[in-house]
């Protein structure tokens, strides 16, 4: 029976890892559809290479920093419990690699290729696992202090704060240090619209992410005996709430409609195992509205050129999700309980602080040493031609 259980757990978490791996193709197509045609190839290449660099960073440094586990023993040792620790690493790696995938959308179209790969390594090796260890592995006694002081630990079942808020707030300094794309804002204060290059590809990316998210959330149980149908239905309700509110608030704009379910799903991650489905619907709905309002403000009023709106989508909706778990997870609002408001608020604030400081250090160092941004001529030509020497749809074949 023990062998059957360990084998089932390995299969369970492996399927979750595969579903979250598939979400990275969603990141790729969401970015491809949102950026201009001259940067589509770059969007695809970045997501795949960032994932590969993240794997090395997390395997050799990050996972050990977060959990104190390394894989430098013999393969025979690694086979223990059907290789459960290896598949757990794979699952959590797909979470860690989401951080640079999130950042990629914010800095699209004007970031240099290799400096961003260097930033990916540093973030996934050091900054992300530093907070991951605090939140999910009792590092530095922060969770114990919260438990003693407020009666409950910080609760983040599937990463509203640990993954999404961290990713969004890490992206913000990178976006600000890079500056806006050339021609995006004029000296007279006008905003030049850069509409999505392909709504079908944008929609495809959103759908892939949405479907994969049910692995992201449900499989966060990590062992099959802890699987919960409540997590699945709460994810569904938050997705629906985010979609419908974004549709109304965004006046049926397809970009908002397809980011709405993502906003809802970002927000529900933390408390998806605690909330009542009606609470999840509200949490997702608030997130959908929050994304539309804050995306519009950042782009048009504050003139922050966050191309995919990753700071509002992941940073703000993730922070809302962390705090919302402390509200809608309570028994008074139909939740399971076992969660308190102050630990949620304090740890969300800590995540934002670590993300901002770490990102500013990484991107500030890279900007001052090797530079972060394509020059004006390269950006005008497009990241595809400047970096990869080919466009997504070449006009003609080469004649020799």
Query: Contact at 8 Å (CB) between 172 and 166?
Result: no
pLDDT of residue 399: 57
Query: Contact at 8 Å (CB) between 323 and 272?
Result: no
pLDDT tens readout for residues 29-71: 999 999 999 999 999 999 999 999 999 999 999 999 999 999 9
pTM: 0.96
Query: What SS3 class is residue 259?
Result: helix
| Average pLDDT of the segment spanning 281-294 | 98
**H-helix segments, 111-224:** 113-122, 128-136, 142-150, 166-178, 199-218
pLDDT tens readout for residues 326-352: 999 999 999 999 999 999 999 999 999
* Rounded CA separation 220/224 (Å): 10
Question: Nearest 5°: phi and psi at 191?
Answer: -110, 125
Query: Contact at 8 Å (CB) between 267 and 228?
Result: no
Looking at residue 247, the DSSP 8-state letter turns out to be H
Does position 150 have pLDDT exceeding 60, yes or no?
yes
Which residue matches tokens 């114990």?
A: 144
Which residue matches tokens 């994932």?
A: 51
Query: Contact at 8 Å (CB) between 214 and 19?
Result: yes
Question: What b/e readout covers 355-392, taking b as 16+ CB neighbours within 10 angstroms?
Answer: beebbbebbeebeeeeebbbeeeebeebbbbbbeeebb
Question: Nearest 5°: phi and psi at 73?
Answer: -85, 175
* Rounded CA separation 289/285 (Å): 6
């Amino acid at each position: 029976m023990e062998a059957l259980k360990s084998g089932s757990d390995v299969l369970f978490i492996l399927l979750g890892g595969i579903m979250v791996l598939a979400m990275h193709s969603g990141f790729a197509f969401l970015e491809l559809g949102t950026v201009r045609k001259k940067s589509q190839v770059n969007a695809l290449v970045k997501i795949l290479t960032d994932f590969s660099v993240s794997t090395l960073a997390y395997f050799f440094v990050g996972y050990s920093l977060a959990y104190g586990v390394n894989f430098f023993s013999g393969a025979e040792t690694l086979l223990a419990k059907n290789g459960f620790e290896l598949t757990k690493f794979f699952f959590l790696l797909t979470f860690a690699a989401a951080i640079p995938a999130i950042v990629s959308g914010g800095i699209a179209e004007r970031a240099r290729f290799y400096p961003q790969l260097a930033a990916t390594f540093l973030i996934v090796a050091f900054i992300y696992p530093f907070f991951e260890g605090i939140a999910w592995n009792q590092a530095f006694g922060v969770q114990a202090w919260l438990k003693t002081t407020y009666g409950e630990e910080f609760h983040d079942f599937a990463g509203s704060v640990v993954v999404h808020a961290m990713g969004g707030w890490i992206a913000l300094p990178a976006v600000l240090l890079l500056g806006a794309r050339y021609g995006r804002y004029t000296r007279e204060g006008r905003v030049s619209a850069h509409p999505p290059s392909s709504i079908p590809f944008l929609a495809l990316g959103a759908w892939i992410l949405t479907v994969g998210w049910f692995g992201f959330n449900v499989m966060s149980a990590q062992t099959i005996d802890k699987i919960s149908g409540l997590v699945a239905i709460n994810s569904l309700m938050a997705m629906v709430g985010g979609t419908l509110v974004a549709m109304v608030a965004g006046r049926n704009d397809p970009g908002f409609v397809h980011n709405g379910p993502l906003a809802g799903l970002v927000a529900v991650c933390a408390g998806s195992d605690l909330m009542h489905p009606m609470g999840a619907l509200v949490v997702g709905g608030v997130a959908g509205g929050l994304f539309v309002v804050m995306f519009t403000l950042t782009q048009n009023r504050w003139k922050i050129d966050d191309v995919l709106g990753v700071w509002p989508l992941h940073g703000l909706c993730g922070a809302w999700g962390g705090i919302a778990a402390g509200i809608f997870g309570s028994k008074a609002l139909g939740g399971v309980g076992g969660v308190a408001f102050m630990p949620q608020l304090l740890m969300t604030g800590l995540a934002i602080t670590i993300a901002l400081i770490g990102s500013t250090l990484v991107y500030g160092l890279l900007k001052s040493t090797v530079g972060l941004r394509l020059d004006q001529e390269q950006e005008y030509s497009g990241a595809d031609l400047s970096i990869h020497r080919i466009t997504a749809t070449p006009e003609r074949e080469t004649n020799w």
